[in-house]
Amino acid sequence: MKNPIKGLHKEFENRIKLGIMSILMVNDTVDFNEIKDVLEVTDGNLASHASALEKKKMITITKKFIGKKPNTSYAATDKGRQAFTEHLTALEALVKNNP
């Protein structure tokens, strides 16, 4: 049997990063405040984890102004979607193949 933990991606070991990617997998883009509210995290916590995912090219971060208010939105990249799917597949295999 293939070792299922080899398919796990270190980028998603943290619960906040896992949450960010989970939200982005079912939405094209999501703004900062929506993710912050869903995950119940602080501004700095979300920003630092999102920045780490961006550095690994798992997500893109877009900053713009809506009227006079700044708006930050996030989207999963193709690389991020593929890696997250592999991560979930590995988790599923691990759960299914172990009592």
Each residue's pLDDT, cut to its tens digit, for the chain (99 residues) gives 477 788 899 999 999 999 999 999 999 999 999 999 999 999 999 999 999 999 999 999 999 998 899 999 999 999 999 999 999 999 998 888 765
- Answer whether 90's CB lies under 8 Å from 7's CB: yes
- C-beta atoms surrounding 85 within 10 Å: 12
- Answer whether 56's CB lies under 8 Å from 11's CB: yes
- Does the reported pTM lie above 0.85? yes
As a CATH number, domain 4-96 is 1.10.10.10
